[in-house]
């Protein structure tokens, strides 16, 4: 394909379009804006990303007293705008990565042409689908023990799930909380033997076998317990202050799966140590390509990677 002089066509082509507004997206916007790339960022269906579903973030560097999640994301947005990034509410509905410049269509029917695209659409935690679960989301219901476990120090909590993630979260919480219930719908754990042994040897973890959650219980102050249904038909309540979901995440990559290489679970595959995807000029950052860490700080770091990779890509194109 013949190289395109993007600098000469900037009236029609955006140097960079960023899809997603979590820590990865806003960090990418900060870096690309400072590099003079005049990025356009689409906030997506959840402005600020999944982080805004929690309350105080205590493990983000630079905030010894913690920081409100919405305040943190608003600050990132303001910082990106201060360097010249354009932030647009709405979401991208269609993309064409089959030729360059790339074509993107948003939910208002607007068409954008882009020299580079950074995908930072995140991954959504899987929930049980209970109304009470949504009611107490952020008020005791969480999908990230590493993020929110500290708030339940010395308290009783429950973890839903029986795989490696659930076991890892239960063990993590066992070092913080007084009691950890694992709610497992089967009569076995799906986790590796090493993780199973670790859970079963931890004194303050109790596994509730063959149980499903019927309802998350709570009041105006937040979660107070959970109502469980055993396979034998018995319904019973447990008292907990925190209710953690560990039944997996779903990367928000469906829009791009036609064009980009993904793993069997839908996470976008990037070259090792970079944000470079299988399509030159398209980069991935944050949880949409990270099935392991899923932290605000790692998402922000990968947003930096994507921005630097995009800047380098354009610089190399201009020398051709």
Report the share of the chain in percent with pLDDT over 90.
Answer: 78
Checking if the pLDDT of 8 tops 60, the result is no
How far from 108 is each of 93, 100, 117, 136, CA to CA, in Å? Answer: 9, 22, 19, 32
Q: The CATH number of the domain where 144 resides is what?
A: 3.50.50.60
Q: What is the pLDDT of residue 146?
A: 82
DSSP sequence for 217-251: EEETTEEEEEEEEETTS-EEEEE-SEEEE-S-EEE
Nearest to 157 by CA among 137, 173, 168: 173
Say yes or no: 202 and 172 in one domain.
yes
- 113 with 256, same domain? yes
**156 and 73, same structural domain?**
no
Domain span holding position 190: 127-245
Looking at residue 192, its pLDDT comes to: 86
Assess whether 131 and 104 both reside in one domain: no
Question: pLDDT value at position 206?
Answer: 97
Going from the C-alpha of 140 to that of each of 31, 134, 219, 221, the distances in angstroms are: 35, 10, 11, 9
First and final C-alpha spacing in the chain: 12
Helix and strand element counts for the chain (H, E): 7, 19
Name the strand (E) or helix (H) holding 180.
strand 179-183
Pick the last residue of a domain from 245, 270, 292. Answer: 245
Q: Would you state the pLDDT for residue 320?
A: 67
- Same domain (yes/no): 131, 239: yes
pLDDT grade for 11, boundaries at 50, 70 and 90: low
The total number of structural domains that make up the chain: 2
| Mean pLDDT lowest among 2-6, 115-119, 204-208, 284-288 | 2-6
Residue 1 is assigned to a structural domain of this protein:
no
Confidence band of 210 (pLDDT split at 50, 70, 90): very high
Q: Has residue 9 got a pLDDT over 50?
A: no
Mean pLDDT of the region 157-165: 93
Residue 2: per-residue pLDDT: 43
**Contacts of residue 37, Cβ cutoff 8 Å, sequence gap at least 6:** 15, 16, 310, 311, 314
Among 27-31, 80-84, 288-292, whose mean pLDDT is lowest?
288-292
> Would you state the pLDDT for residue 4?
46
Cα within 13 Å of Cα(27), Cβ side: 21
Mean pLDDT calculated for residue range 161-185: 94
User: pLDDT tens for residues 233-270?
Assistant: 999 999 999 999 999 888 999 999 999 999 999 999 99
How does DSSP classify residue 126? P
What are the tens digits of pLDDT across the range 62-112? Answer: 999 889 888 999 999 999 999 999 999 999 999 999 999 999 999 999 999
pLDDT at 12: 80
- Classify the C-alpha dihedral 92-269-30-311 as positive or negative: negative
Dihedral sign for Cα atoms in the order 71, 43, 28, 81 = negative
Overall average pLDDT of the 302-313 stretch: 98
**What residues act catalytically?**
144, 147-148
255, 112: one domain: yes
For residue 226, is pLDDT > 70? yes
Q: What is the mean pLDDT of residues 173-178?
A: 96
pLDDT for position 91: 93
């Amino acid at each position: 394909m013949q190289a395109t002089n993007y600098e000469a066509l900037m009236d029609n082509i955006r140097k960079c379009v960023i899809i997603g507004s979590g820590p990865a997206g806003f960090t990418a916007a900060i870096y690309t804006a400072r590099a003079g790339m005049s990025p356009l960022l689409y906030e997506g269906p959840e402005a600020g990303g999944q982080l805004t579903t929690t309350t105080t973030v205590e493990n983000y560097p630079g905030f010894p007293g913690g920081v409100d999640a919405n305040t943190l994301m608003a600050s990132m947005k303001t910082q990106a705008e201060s360097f010249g990034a354009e932030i647009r509410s709405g979401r991208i509905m269609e993309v064409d990565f089959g030729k360059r410049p790339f074509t993107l269509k948003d939910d208002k029917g607007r068409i954008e042409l882009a020299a580079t695209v950074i995908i930072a659409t995140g991954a959504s935690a899987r929930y049980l689908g209970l109304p009470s679960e949504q009611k107490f989301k952020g008020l005791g219901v969480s999908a990230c023990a590493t993020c929110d476990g500290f708030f339940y120090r010395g308290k009783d909590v429950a973890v839903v799930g029986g795989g490696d993630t659930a076991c890892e979260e239960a063990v993590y919480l066992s070092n913080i909380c007084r009691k950890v219930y694992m709610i497992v719908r089967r009569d076995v754990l799906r986790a590796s033997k090493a993780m199973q042994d670790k859970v079963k040897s931890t004194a303050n973890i109790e596994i509730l076998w063959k149980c499903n959650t019927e309802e998350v219980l709570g009041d105006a102050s937040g979660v107070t317990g959970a109502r469980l249904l055993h396979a034998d038909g018995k319904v019973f309540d447990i008292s907990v202050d925190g209710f953690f979901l560990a039944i997996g995440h779903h990367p928000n990559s469906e829009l791009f799966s036609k064009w980009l290489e993904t793993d069997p679970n839908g996470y976008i595959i990037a070259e090792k140590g970079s944000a470079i995807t299988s399509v030159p000029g398209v980069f991935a950052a944050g949880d949409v390509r990270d099935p392991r860490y899923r932290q605000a700080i790692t998402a922000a770091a990968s947003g930096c990677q994507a921005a630097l990779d995009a800047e380098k890509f354009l610089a190399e194109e201009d020398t051709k």
